[in-house]
Chain A
Amino acid sequence: MPMFEARQLSCRKGAHTLFRHLSLQLAAGDILHVRGHNGSGKTSLLRILAGLARAEHGSLWWQGVAQAADGAEQRQRVGWLGQRPGFKDALSAAENLADCQALHQQPPSAGAIRLLLQHWGLQASAAQASADLSQGQRQRLSLALLQLRAAPLWVLDEPFNALDEPGCTLLWDMLQQHVRHGGIAILSHHAALPACTAQLWLGSAA
């Protein structure tokens, strides 16, 4: 029985329909790569799967249990990475991580935060306001926040944007580790990703 399932999803943007009767099943340890040219509805699909947006028709199922249409239950299980950074520019990286820790009811531990910052190469500018970080560093901070949340289902919208070579390898290691621990990842990326277990083409296939 698949861990996460979507049935007969359909989504409309204004007067025209992006996709219809879209179904997918994902078991623990799967990485789904959503592909499609611009405007094919990749982001809309990801927002529906994350429980942010509401599909025109269709439903989401988690371990065989149908999820409420407003997406509240679904969002508790999802680690979301969208186009927007998701942290406050005026606060420093360390403060953002500490707030995220507190808001997720995790015991506050400076050690875990220091480890995360070192892992993502942000310890040098940990005290700087996040606004002064480079675009790549800001993406790394978003990924660090995602790792801190430790959600079973990750929905990532173009996570490789603005990442340099070491950043991409760090992201891959995190994905592999997440999937090895029985998690699921759904991500969209414009280029081919060989290590993904499944692919989903939106719009007319290339």
Chain B
Amino acid sequence: MTFNWRRYASPPHCYRLISRILPALWAISLLLGVAGLLTGLLLAPGDVQQGEGYRIIFIHVPASWMSMIIYLAIALWAAVGLVLNTSLSFMLMTALAPTGAAMTALSLLSGALWGKPMWGAWWVWDARLTSELILLFLYLALLALRAAIDDPRRADRACALFALFSVINIPIIYFSVRWWNTLHQGPSITMGQAPAMSDQVLLGLVLMTLAAWAYSLAMSFSRLRLLILQRQADTGWVKQLTGACR
């Protein structure tokens, strides 16, 4: 019996699939998070230049990667939704946005916490950090657009169009911020290349990145379940479901 992936495009099946794998996903993300933090804070050796302060990279670097990857995922699901006109991909796009915004905020704050001991300033006009700030503005724009339109179908398509249009601009923005940064500051104040990568540090980073991935998936799928229930409120299976767990 060939495995029919299309079956999971319909909300009821997708809802059941997610409900089954969600507990496992939360467990994995918790496990990875704890393991990553332990290796990062306990096992990894200190860095010769930056002393112990560099350990913030175990929070900052995965958060920055996730903020970028989630925005690309949002743009991907936006494109899929616009082409195939499936409401589920729009829902997944909507479910991803808040987690992406939270990751961007965390990356900025942890970047500031890292900059203070290293360069003595809470905010450093480094190309990467500045682009991260602009990415936060784009996330906020996406969430504001979502909140401003009442009709969910139209809000989905508007957010999808904006996500696609802005994701094409991100490389241009990053390029122009780097150009501006090197012209004014010169290469002196940058976040510097990654510290000497001993294997424990590498292991810590990999574990924390996987933890960030698992956490983002778990949180987005939980939010997706709510969106499916909300969007299919008047269908039979939702009434039966909510009726059953009264």
Contacts and interface: CB of A to CB of B under 8 A. Distances in A.
Direct contact of A and B (CB under 8 A): yes
A12 B234 CA distance: 11
Interface residues of A, number: 7
Interface of B is mostly: loop
Interface stretch (A14-22, A103-111, A124-132): A14-22
B85 A14 contact: no
Interface in A1-37: 12-17
A89 to B, nearest CB: 27
A16 B230 CA distance: 11
Contacts of B150: 14
Interface in B82-128: 85
A16 B150 CA distance: 14
A170 interface: no
A12 B232 CA distance: 11
A12 B231 CA distance: 11
Most chain B CB within a 10 A radius of its CB, from A12, A16, A17: A12
B13 interface: no
B231 A15 contact: yes
A69 interface: yes
A86 B175 CA distance: 43
B16 interface: no
Interface in B129-156: 150-153
Contacts, number: 13
A15 B228 CA distance: 11
A15 B234 contact: yes
Nearest to B231: A15
Interface in A135-159: none
B233 interface: yes
Interface of A is mostly: strand
B85 A15 contact: no
Contacts of A17: 234
A69 B83 CA distance: 11
Nearest to B230: A15
A51 to B, nearest CB: 16
Contacts of B230: 15
Contacts of A12: 153
Contact of B233 (A13, A15, A69): A15
A16 B85 contact: no
Interface string B61-99: 000000000000000000000000100000000000000
A22 to B, nearest CB: 17
A15 B238 CA distance: 12
A47 B117 CA distance: 61
Contacts of A16: 234
A14 B152 CA distance: 6
5 contacts: A14-B150, A15-B152, A15-B233, A15-B234, A69-B85
Interface of B: 85, 150-153, 230-231, 233-234
Closest 5 CB pairs of A and B: A15-B233, A16-B234, A15-B234, A14-B151, A14-B152
Given A12-B153, A15-B231, A69-B85, 7 more contacts: A13-B151, A14-B151, A14-B152, A15-B230, A15-B234, A16-B234, A17-B234
